[in-house]
Amino acid sequence: MKHLLPLLSLSCAVALAGAAGADEAAPGAGGGAKAARLGGEARFGVVVFDKDCWDDSVGGAVDFGLMLWDSGENIGVWAGLGAQGPTFQWEDDWGRVESDVVAIPIGASLLVRCPIAGGVALRGEVGARYVAMDIDDWDDDHYHHRRRDERDRYYHPDRYLDVDDTALAVAGLQLEFCFDPVRLSIGGGYRFDLDKQDMEYLGRSVGKVDLSGAFFYLGVGVVL
């Protein structure tokens, strides 16, 4: 899993270069013909988690990405990152604990876009994300029972929650409204957690982290 991030980055770079090269090599691409189109996009939405390991069944999510399209804006690639902050539920000797998890998905997607009416298009997406995970159980609701301090954190790091990074596969569909160069969109899809990691405390599993679930979002972007 530790090697997945550089592999994703490499595949993303190859996809971007390939899309640009294919567009430049297309018949009629020389002279005054328009080359590949570059865009950017921000999406704001929610994830409806499948599993009950999370304090809330719905969590906020945001991502930002760059897109490279062919000259007709029909085939493209997306590369970017996002952020999510669900709260993991588990139990220790004092009872139920809620610990904040910060998840940073980084990856790439293949895009296919089909115009369906004047200024309206349907866009499909399939891709993969490496998810960097971090946990904050320092300020949880049982801090006063554990009597922990910075010295304890330094000498006994195994007394704190630990989880490895994971990976997601994503598939989505969105409806776009085009106001050149601006794109407004509404969409959704599903993401599959490919490597469900154990959340560990004191060397034992206290539950599995599963980020699978449906997602819905509103987006705004530009294509130049």
Greater confidence (119 vs 154) lies with 119
* Residue 66 C-alpha from the chain's centroid: 14
Query: Does position 146 have pLDDT exceeding 70, yes or no?
Result: no
Residue 89: pLDDT band (50, 70, 90) is confident
**Token pair listed for 136:** 């904050």
Q: How far apart are CA 184 and CA 218, in angstroms?
A: 8
Q: How far apart are CA 89 and CA 99, in angstroms?
A: 7
Residue 150: pLDDT band (50, 70, 90) is low
pLDDT at residue 148, as a whole number: 55
Query: Does position 31 have pLDDT exceeding 50, yes or no?
Result: no
Mean pLDDT of the chain: 82
pLDDT at residue 154, as a whole number: 58
* Per-residue exposure over 31-43, b if at least 16 CB sit within 10 Å of its own CB, e if not: eeeeebbebebeb
Rounded to 5 degrees, φ, ψ at 154 are -70, -45
Q: What does each C-alpha distance from 173 to 113, 123, 217 come to in angstroms?
A: 10, 6, 10
Rounded to 5 degrees, φ, ψ at 72 are -90, 0
Residue 169: pLDDT band (50, 70, 90) is very high
Residue 49: pLDDT band (50, 70, 90) is very high
pLDDT at residue 8, as a whole number: 42
| DSSP state letter for 12 | H
Q: How far apart are CA 56 and CA 96, in angstroms?
A: 14
The domains of the chain, with CATH numbers, are 4-24+34-223 (2.40.160.20)
pLDDT at residue 42, as a whole number: 98
pLDDT at residue 16, as a whole number: 44
Query: Does position 138 have pLDDT exceeding 80, yes or no?
Result: no
Q: 53, 49, 47: which is closest to 208 by C-alpha? A: 53
Residue 184: pLDDT band (50, 70, 90) is very high
Residue 157: pLDDT band (50, 70, 90) is low
Q: Are strands 120-136 and 75-84 parallel, antiparallel or unpaired?
A: unpaired
**Token pair listed for 95:** 């009872």
Query: Does position 156 have pLDDT exceeding 90, yes or no?
Result: no
**Token pair listed for 88:** 């993991």
Q: How far apart are CA 197 and CA 212, in angstroms?
A: 12
Element (H, E) at 4: helix 4-25
Least confident of 41-55, 142-156, 188-202, 209-223: 142-156
pLDDT at residue 18, as a whole number: 46
Least confident of 3-17, 54-68, 138-152, 176-190: 3-17
Q: How far apart are CA 220 and CA 224, in angstroms?
A: 14
Rounded to 5 degrees, φ, ψ at 94 are -100, 0
Q: Are 176 and 183 in contact (CB under 8 A)?
A: yes
